[in-house]
Amino acid sequence: MKITDAILVAVIGFAGVIVGGVVNPSVDAFLRAHLVNDKMVELAVDILKSSDCKTAPNLVAARPWAVSVIEKFSPVPMDADVKSALLNSCH
């Protein structure tokens, strides 16, 4: 192996360490944020499914929050009629 090849390998290795040190935490933070978002959407759906006026009246007040979470993280816009039905229905 020539000295220039060794230097090139060292530089590439060093660059890989630097890039890995910068990119890996960014990817990790991105994935953690999405995991938290997914958990919040799960909680919102659970609230909407179980906020019965008779059996869980304390959860009825959480329905607007749950709808807001779903609106924020859904790639599909919520129709006004659907939103109104979710906010105003107690099953």
Lowest mean pLDDT among 8-17, 28-37, 63-72: 8-17
Closest by CA to 51, choosing from 23, 1, 90, is: 90
**Geometric angle at alpha carbon 29, from 23 and 33, rounded to 5°:** 145
pLDDT at 67 over 90: yes
Q: How many domains does the chain have?
A: 1
Of 20 and 78, the one with more pLDDT: 78
List helix spans (H) across the chain.
3-50, 57-60, 63-73, 80-88
User: What tens digit of pLDDT does each residue of 19-57 get?
Assistant: 566 656 676 777 777 777 889 999 999 888 886 777 777
Q: Tokens 């660059």 belong to which residue?
A: 15
User: Whole domain around residue 17: which residue ranges?
Assistant: 3-88
